[in-house]
Structure 1
């Protein structure tokens, strides 16, 4: 779970991770199992309470976890497993004025019933006899609990019929007592994939200016950038936070597609970054597909390089079972380009290494060595194209894509002149995470050979284009 930081709610930078070792969640997330794609950390919540930052999240199979830290960059306390149970999601903590802590969550396997629990003083246990079901509707989830001007607000989303179609809508419950009775109101219309891509999960934020805003992701699936983030204005009307703009005067907000930043004076920040691997640790924007084999990668064996040692996939021919695939999130801009410079002099027979895109499918451009011969290999989810032999030790590989989400690979022997190779690949959303772009290394015959990555450069549209997007 990445922790991100912003001064203006628009430009965000990765500053750390809550969970260093995801096998604390499940052994299925380890390199020797790797069968938990899409089943790891689901929507969580971060809150500041009693001098610490607290994070609570669910997984669909192991469910409730928490950690806390004095500094959001870490170190975070060892992950604490609150309750081992299945079928829950979208939990959020809340501390009332008297210091009593609560946790709200949805039991989606039980018809999406929303529960409220009291927590122990240390926030590490649920007081089961306090369990109350306070709401239930089709698809009710994404809960956030607030106390604003003496009133309790339960934010959530649920599935309702709008204009003859089922869409996920944004709702709010309001009461003067935590246990109700609650009034209910829709506070943001959503119209589906084609109209507004269903903004729904998220949270209310108050800026230092006093202005209220709503940070949301769009629930629609299938886009290569994953679930896109939006920042929407909030206007309080008769004690209700109306999100977006009430265009038709019905008391319900509509999606807003542009506006003025609530806080000015801060520069554009690219959430994905280039890397020269000169730091003692991996930068925070990098993530492994599963918990990696620690002895199969290094930043110190050759200082200034990332060394990836080859390992045998758990299932031959299945890229999703290759350990130590290192990626970062691909962005959707008018012009995105990744160039990686690699040293392949350490490769051995049977080894393959290069650049990759990874979603619900995958596409790689790399070098495969057979005997003493190295040659290019393009792999689009099991469909191969082999290219010319590579005699040099240094190789540059490039991936380019644009707003349409179509990717093209190319290679260079001098870092300047690039030749296209392989077909066009459609980037895809990949288990809610969006397309991931990165590097890989494996050997289907034996655990020998390695690849050295000199640098990884990520280029975006220029700042003027970014400001217009």
Structure 2
């Protein structure tokens, strides 16, 4: 049966959300694998939004939305559901989606690649996702690392999001997508077996309601489940499911699987997967944004009357946030999400993503081996970091101690050029160098305000950013790599454009397409 809202709200108050009280949001000093057979949430204290998760043999794979960043749709890999590494990114060229994602437009902040679903069928990985403006796309690959096929357009209409797909036991394929522009109505479509087309005329309405999205179709013990989230004003976002004995429905039975867990930032969108220990788990993001974005936790799943209850099960047989648990598996190798880079390879490792699709030929890892060369060109708007196409980024972490140090050779800079280290979502800040009249000067910027500093007399300069659990960055610079001096005011990282803070390196020139900087390393400790 479905729970009445007055009862749900009373449960939130009366139970005290005992699972949530074990840990105050954002104040964790430890997280992930504890080394003693247990783990602590979050398992990834970084902005890996719109998670979906599957298991293939002894391996787990997850995907995370990337919006305007390129390459798009990050793929994660794990052996135990707790320790993860970046496996790759599935969409190398965002202009397959549309020109608005290119460096010539840079017009897809908070849009671009939204949530998707990852599936494995008949020896092949399939990725489906939507963009709010261009519609639904798919691609597939034999290996999760790629190469991934060029994108195929499934539905060229705006106003859709959060799709999912499934193959039934006879190999027939189905696709579900939510028309958020029309009251969050979710439709089921017949799909070709290769996943490359859907029958638009076959659409059957299977769900609608208050902000209902984040759909995932799964089959367990003879039941087909449509798992999704819903938002009620004044209550929050939480997870429900509908079920049917047939994939085509009707999906008449419905149950709420977890409370909103508002104090834990509403864990909601994710993937339900069976572990190697035969237990079930829900890998989910916390859906209310703050400066660290939508981070990732792992919740146990308890099957009650053939319904997957998420997290700690309360006496009323509904789930709530659970902060700790036993490791699902003790893997020999402990994977880790990549951060630092010495730029010794001929290809950027997968933690890096450009702000929109980059301009070809304006960065290089081979022109000066062991260094990344960033070449300057004009931004779309003068002196505007968020309109400068040559900005290379990665996700920041909400950990107790974070230090990023970048070494740059600025001897190739030209007049009008700016380069440095930055943080941004939509609010942004940076420490860097600007060249004017043949002289390089230190520069600090926070949104539209720019503070000019001393002349920089050397060809090499080091920039650093340091922050803790409060997300307040303190910038510094050095002329020898050892002695750092603070510069600029502390910057409070922020949520913006549906994303948490990113850290990156930028290079542009307001005057001409000339000048470059070389980056020796980016060390993230």
Write the distance in 1 (CA, Å) between the matches of 2:199 and 2:482.
Answer: 63
Query: In the alignment, is the contact (CA less than 8 A) between 1:112 and 1:140 conserved in 2?
Result: yes
- The alignment's TM-score, normalised by the length of structure 2, stands at 0.85
Query: In the alignment, is the contact (CA less than 8 A) between 2:378 and 2:510 conserved in 1?
Result: yes
Higher normalized contact order (CA 8 Å, seq sep 6+, divided by chain length): 2
Aligned to 1:112: 184
1:83-108 Cα shifts (integer Å, max 9, x gaps): 10010100011000010000111100
Write the distance in 2 (CA, Å) between the matches of 1:391 and 1:270.
Answer: 39
Alignment of 1:250-399 (within 5 A): 250-266=316-332, 268-399=334-465
Structure 1 residue 40: Cα displacement: 0.6
SS class of match (1:18): strand
Structure 1 residue 196: Cα displacement: 1.7
Structure 1 residue 123: Cα displacement: 1.3
Aligned to 1:462: none
1:275-315 Cα shifts (integer Å, max 9, x gaps): 11110100100000011111111111111100001111111
Alignment of 1:57-456 (within 5 A): 57-160=129-232, 165-178=234-247, 179-192=249-262, 195-221=263-289, 223-247=290-314, 249-266=315-332, 268-456=334-522
Query: In the alignment, is the contact (CA less than 8 A) between 1:272 and 1:329 conserved in 2?
Result: no
Q: Taking structure 1 as reference, are residues 433 and 181 closer, same or farther at Cα in structure 2, changes over 3 Å only?
A: closer
Query: In the alignment, is the contact (CA less than 8 A) between 2:235 and 2:260 conserved in 1?
Result: no
Write the distance in 2 (CA, Å) between the matches of 1:50 and 1:190.
Answer: 37
1:419-459 Cα shifts (integer Å, max 9, x gaps): 00000111112322311111111111111110000000000
Structure 1 residue 121: Cα displacement: 2.5
Q: Taking structure 1 as reference, are residues 297 and 181 closer, same or farther at Cα in structure 2, changes over 3 Å only?
A: closer
Which piece of structure 1 moves more, 67-76 or 346-355?
Answer: 346-355
- The alignment's TM-score, normalised by the length of structure 1, stands at 0.95
Write the distance in 2 (CA, Å) between the matches of 1:125 and 1:160.
Answer: 34
Query: In the alignment, is the contact (CA less than 8 A) between 1:272 and 1:328 conserved in 2?
Result: no
Write the distance in 2 (CA, Å) between the matches of 1:267 and 1:458.
Answer: 21
Query: In the alignment, is the contact (CA less than 8 A) between 1:44 and 1:92 conserved in 2?
Result: yes
1:317-372 Cα shifts (integer Å, max 9, x gaps): 32111011001001110011100000001011111111111111111100111112
Query: In the alignment, is the contact (CA less than 8 A) between 1:105 and 1:116 conserved in 2?
Result: yes
Write the distance in 2 (CA, Å) between the matches of 1:190 and 1:26.
Answer: 36
Compute the RMSD of aligned alpha carbons. 1.1
Structure 1 residue 267: Cα displacement: 5.0
SS class of match (1:133): strand
**Runs of at least 5 residues in structure 2 that lack an aligned partner in the other structure:** 1-72
Write the distance in 2 (CA, Å) between the matches of 1:202 and 1:260.
Answer: 20
Q: Taking structure 1 as reference, are residues 310 and 362 closer, same or farther at Cα in structure 2, changes over 3 Å only?
A: same
Query: In the alignment, is the contact (CA less than 8 A) between 2:365 and 2:372 conserved in 1?
Result: yes
1:147-180 Cα shifts (integer Å, max 9, x gaps): 111111110011236xxx2311110112222212
SS class of match (2:325): coil
